[in-house]
Amino acid sequence: MAGHSKWATTKRHKAVIDAKRGKIFSALAKDLTITARDGGGDPNFNPRLRTLITKAKVANMPADNIDRAIKKGTGELPGVEYFQIVYEGYGLAGVGIIVEVTTDNKNRAASEVRSTFTKHGGNLGGPGSVVHNFSRLAQFLISADKTSEEALMELALEAGAEDIINNGDHFDVRAPMTEFDSLSKALEDAGIACESSEIAYVPQVLNPITDKETAQKVLKLIDALDDLEDVQNVYDNSEIDDALLGES
C-alpha cells in the first residue's frame, strides 16, 4: 500500500532519531518500567520486556538506563507512578487520531494533548469517538531485506499471525493481541529483526487525503503530538500518497 502508514511514520522517526534521542530514551524507559511492573523484571519470563530491551539496545540506550528503568518497575529502585491514558481526536479532513500517553501528571498530559490538537486545526474527542474505527492488534513491521515472503509466512502463521501484507519494501505482520509474545519470540529465534513491534491500533478503513496542503497539516499535527514528552505512540487512519509530499 502506497502512502502514509505506520511504516512511513517509522521511517520518518528513524530520520530524526538523533535529534530526538532524549525523547526516545524517556519513552523507552517508561515502557520498560511499566512492563517490568506488570510482568516482572526477568526477560526470560517476560517476553515483552525482552522485546523492549532489544528495542532499547537498537536505539543505543545505555545499559545503565535500561537496568534502572527495569528496577524502578520491580520496586528495587524508587520511581514515580505512571498512568497510561488513551486520547482520541480528529485532524483536518476527519482523520481519526489515537494518542497513547504514559505520564506522571494527568492534568499536564491532558492540557498538552488538547492544546496541540487545537493549535493544528484538530479537536480532541471523547472516549470511544475514534477507537471504534481501529482494531487492537499485535503488529510487526519487517524490512523486506530481512527475510523472504515465503519464509516469513511459514514462520508467522505457525506462530499465530492472521495476516501478512507484502508492501514491497516491507512486510506488515498482524496477529491477535494474545499472540504478540509467541510471534515476537518466533521472529527473535529466527533472527528476523523488526523495525517496529507493538500492540497497535490499526485502522479498519483508511481516510485518503488528496490535497497537499491538508496532507502537510495532518502530518504536522501527528508529529507535534508525537513530540510531546508524555506521548508514547500516535496512530491515525490517514492515507497520504508519498508523491503528494515529494517523498520517495
Q: What is the DSSP string of 22-37?
A: HHHHHHHHHHHHHHHH
Tell me, yes or no, whether 143 lies in a domain: yes
Residue 1 lies in a domain: no
Cα–Cα distance for residue pair 123/67, rounded to 1 Å: 39
Domain count, the chain: 3
Give the pLDDT of residue 168.
86
pLDDT average, residue stretch 27-48: 93
Shared domain check, 144 and 112: no
The reply to whether 51 and 95 lie within a common domain is no
Range of the domain at 31: 6-74
The whole-number pLDDT of residue 22 equals 66
* Same-domain pairing of 115 and 238: yes
Angstrom distance (rounded) from CA 64 to CA 85 = 28
- Distance from C-alpha of 38 to C-alpha of 36, rounded to nearest angstrom: 5
What CATH number does the domain containing 36 carry? 1.10.10.200
Same domain, residue pair 111 and 141: no
Contact 43, 50 (CB under 8 A): yes
pLDDT at 196: 83
Q: Domain for residue 58, yes or no?
A: yes
Paired with 172 in beta bridges are 141, 165
Indicate if 121 and 171 belong to the same structural domain.
no
What's 110's domain CATH number? 3.30.70.980
The answer to whether residue 146 sits within a structural domain is yes
pLDDT for 3 equals 39
pLDDT at position 1, please?
34
Residues 114 and 230 in one domain: yes
Same domain, 211 and 231: yes
Q: Specify whether 101 is located in the same domain as 223.
A: yes
- Cell numbers describing residue 61: 540506550
Residues 10 and 54 in one domain: yes
Query: Do residues 174 and 163 make contact, with C-beta atoms less than 8 angstroms apart?
Result: yes
What residue type is 176 in one-letter code?
P
Same domain, 189 and 239: no
Answer whether residue 62 is part of any domain. Answer: yes
| Cβ count within 10 A of residue 93 | 16
Query: Is residue 19 a part of any domain in this protein?
Result: yes
pLDDT digits (tens, 9 = 90+) for 208-222: 999 999 999 999 999
Residue with more model confidence, 10 or 184: 184
Same domain? For 18 and 104 the reply is: no
The helix-helix angle for 47-58 and 180-189 (nearest 10°) equals 50
Q: Are residues 93 and 198 in the same domain?
A: no
**Residue 139 has which C-alpha cell?**
503488529
User: Mean pLDDT of all residues in the chain?
Assistant: 88
